[in-house]
Structure 1
Amino acid sequence: MSILKLALKSSTVQSIRQLSGSSGSDVVVVSALRTPIGSFRGSLSQLSAAQMATQVIKALISQSSVKPEQIDEVIMGHILTHGGGQHPTRQAVINSGLPSATVTSTVNKLCASGMKSLMLASGLLSLKQANIMIAGGMESMSNVPFILKRGDTNYGHTQLYDALLSDGLMDAFHNIHMGNCGENTAKKYGITREDQDKFAIGSYEKSAAAAKAGLFDKERISVTVPDRKSGTKTISDDEEYHKVDFNKIGSLKSVFQKDGTITAANSSKLNDGAAACILMRSETAKDHGLKPLIRIVDYADNELDPIDFPVAPVGAIKKLLSRNGINKDDVKMWEINEAFSVVPLAHIKMLELDANKVNIHGGAVALGHPVAASGTRIVAHLAHTLKSGEYGIAAICNGGGGSSAMLVQAV
């Protein structure tokens, strides 16, 4: 390579780094919160997705100096809206005390919905179409109804369809459960049942240790839930990671295929929860006397064949690293959503990542996966865990072969 080409290459990388460096127009996250994560039909099942999001939005406003009328727009990811009432994001906005003039939108990008909402908000802020925004995700998997298809009620018996499966967990192209796609990935990349069980045990152990050390306290709020005996009760802890029985993990049968590798223990669960962030440009944060947690450096989507959705984030991550002149070793923390244990394991293998930097405080296998909220949750965890100057990448796959990933830097 000639000296001129080397100089141009160096100049390009430097320009990219300058572009992603600190400036008054950087989009930053100044607050990031989530509810505890409830088990299926568990501690949060009395709340709709909108009701959980309402409590998160109230907490965001309460903990910041931002006034309700200063929020220009709210974007929330939500997949399984069935039976939740008209425009769940609008419900959350109005019921949290924000003005009726607040613009609201709901995003459905399956499991990546909560991250995509952050990406959309960041783009609007970069274009200066808004000054202050709230973005996140919400899901009550416990309250997804069964569907009776219109026109199927002829004489005799009829069939109910579980919307949780049909609109959330089934691949629409091959008519197979997402877990079968995970099995395909495990076979393709030589990831064994033992590998996945070991990873799952680690996820539970790391989540429990992090909770004990108070590492989720800054990101997690307490939620008020209706209670028949006392009127209301307060839920403050994640529910799922307490329920593991390590003695049974090795003996569980595979769920999706007779001789498969994916079990109830080494995959994420059905869960309830909501998460959201306040985003603005750094100059706006300075005007309000707010200290940013992270700046959003860049974000990317990637799509491939639907059956390969578990590894779709690999392409999104490569785009982020290449565009910003960052080596994977420069990334301090990786939050790769644990839809199944095979997902982060495949990423570690394909990207040759340091496993000690991946999901260092556990993930969805242990904490739970309230699908549309998880993309926001993993970004929020980076926001509260990274130290000043450190880079982190959050990545999440979604059904249909898609994914989203976000590169952030602690301020």
Structure 2
Amino acid sequence: MHDAVIIDAVRTPVGRHGGALAAVRPDDMAALVIRELVRRTGVDPALVEEVYLGCANQAGEDNRNVARMATLLAGLPQHVAAVTFNRLCASGLNAINQAARAIKAGEGDVFIAGGVESMSRAPYSLPKAERGYPWGNITGYDTTLGWRFPNPRMEAMFPLEQMGETAENIYALSCDATGPLAGGPISREEQDAFALESQRKAVAAIRDGRFRDEITPVEIPQRKGAPVIVDTDEHPRYRRNAAGEVELDTSLEQLARLRPAFRKDGTVTAGNASGINDGAAALLLTSSDKARELGLQPLVRIVASAAAGVDPRTMGLGPVPATRKALARAGLTMDDIGLIEINEAFAVQSLACMR
């Protein structure tokens, strides 16, 4: 079995919903990071076996295999194949894992993997009638987030809850003294404090330039004048002081004033939940042998990966069994791990996984 390594990674800034990147098509965003990744690494694009991209929506300009569209738009040779994966929030990570598995299996030595999403440009969707001019009303769906065209059989099996409601279900689970989450209720105060710390870390990283090398600026053409260059994440809540430096623009007091977003007496708010964003990222993965041959310096070696299914009503607990599976595959324990990163969909979900 071959070793799979990551050589480099490029991303756009993270744009707010309706923000600076709302004018950019997702296939163009994905093409931008692919093109920049090839330029930065100096790898011959003809060596790329496949491009794997994750995309959760695929209802608009990101439809019909956006990975292939972006590969062609980026100028890669036509013989470079591409495929789009959808594992919802984990789509981009799944693309990276699949590329690593292909390398380990000997199916190629050079892959580009990543993801793209434009929630700002997610379209409205209408069902097509089974026959022309039917009686009655039809339901349209905003494809930005949540269910669309739900199967009645699925609705009979599980409530059609929004992601935020599944986070509230995790909070309720933490209140169950006989449940799997030891330590008592994950309070609103604990969630807000955790969310604030995440905001603080993100703003500090922006201020200190820690993201500068991984971000490729996005050029937004204007009707008149020079294009606008977007090179900084929009999403952490920050402001610029008189010196132009970024500062955290929220506090525990401000977070405490926010109303619950999903349930009347709930704990999940806009302040302790993840945002609605736009962006794209691309990574270069190779076998360790090919990296040596091309004179490329790996950043990391991918040892193992895993996915696991859980009760859809508490979907945010999925990282727990997935982590256990990945550790078992790698022959490691938690004591061997020096740094852990978890996708903070909701503060309550991250805190529950940590427990």
Q: TM-score, normalised by structure 2?
A: 0.87
Fraction of identical pairs, as percent: 37
Report the Cα offset of residue 129 of structure 1.
1.2
Of Structure 1 and Structure 2, which has the larger fraction of its residues in helix?
1
Q: Residue 146 of structure 2 contacts residue 162 of structure 2 at CA under 8 Å; is this kept in 1?
A: no
Match of 1:275 among 275, 281, 289: 281
Q: How does 1:1-400 map to 2 (within 5 A)?
A: 25-84=2-61, 85-151=63-129, 154=134, 158-167=138-147, 173-189=158-174, 190-230=185-225, 232-243=227-238, 244-246=249-251, 247-349=253-355
SS of 2:9's equivalent in the other structure is: strand
- Alignment length (residue pairs): 326
C-alpha distance in 1, partners of 2:329/2:121?
Answer: 41
1:81-132 C-alpha deviation (Å, 9 max, x unpaired): 1121532111110111101111110001111111111111111111211120
Q: Residue 36 of structure 1 contacts residue 235 of structure 1 at CA under 8 Å; is this kept in 2?
A: yes
1:399 alignment partner in structure 2: none
C-alpha distance in 1, partners of 2:316/2:15?
Answer: 24
Q: Residue 80 of structure 1 contacts residue 167 of structure 1 at CA under 8 Å; is this kept in 2?
A: no
SS of 1:137's equivalent in the other structure is: strand
CA RMSD of aligned residues (A): 2.0
1:209-230 C-alpha deviation (Å, 9 max, x unpaired): 1111121122222112232333
Q: Residue 181 of structure 1 contacts residue 310 of structure 1 at CA under 8 Å; is this kept in 2?
A: yes
C-alpha distance in 1, partners of 2:172/2:143?
Answer: 29
Report the Cα offset of residue 325 of structure 1.
3.2
C-alpha distance in 2, partners of 1:255/1:91?
Answer: 36
Q: Residue 103 of structure 2 contacts residue 286 of structure 2 at CA under 8 Å; is this kept in 1?
A: yes
- Gaps (5+ residues) in structure 1? 1-18, 20-24, 350-411
C-alpha distance in 1, partners of 2:326/2:135?
Answer: 57
Report the Cα offset of residue 242 of structure 1.
3.4
- Gaps (5+ residues) in structure 2? 175-184, 239-248
Q: Residue 208 of structure 1 contacts residue 241 of structure 1 at CA under 8 Å; is this kept in 2?
A: yes
Q: Look up the equivalent residue of 1:178 and give its one-letter code.
A: M
Q: Residue 337 of structure 1 contacts residue 343 of structure 1 at CA under 8 Å; is this kept in 2?
A: no
SS of 2:339's equivalent in the other structure is: strand
Q: Residue 304 of structure 2 contacts residue 327 of structure 2 at CA under 8 Å; is this kept in 1?
A: no
Of Structure 1 and Structure 2, which has the larger fraction of its residues in strand?
1
SS of 1:234's equivalent in the other structure is: strand
SS of 1:111's equivalent in the other structure is: helix
Q: Residue 161 of structure 2 contacts residue 313 of structure 2 at CA under 8 Å; is this kept in 1?
A: no
Q: Residue 148 of structure 1 contacts residue 159 of structure 1 at CA under 8 Å; is this kept in 2?
A: yes
C-alpha distance in 2, partners of 1:167/1:97?
Answer: 35
1:277-311 C-alpha deviation (Å, 9 max, x unpaired): 11110010000000000000000111111112111
C-alpha distance in 2, partners of 1:107/1:157?
Answer: 33
1:331-355 C-alpha deviation (Å, 9 max, x unpaired): 2221100111112211221xxxxxx
1:360 alignment partner in structure 2: none
Q: TM-score, normalised by structure 1?
A: 0.75
C-alpha distance in 1, partners of 2:332/2:60?
Answer: 44
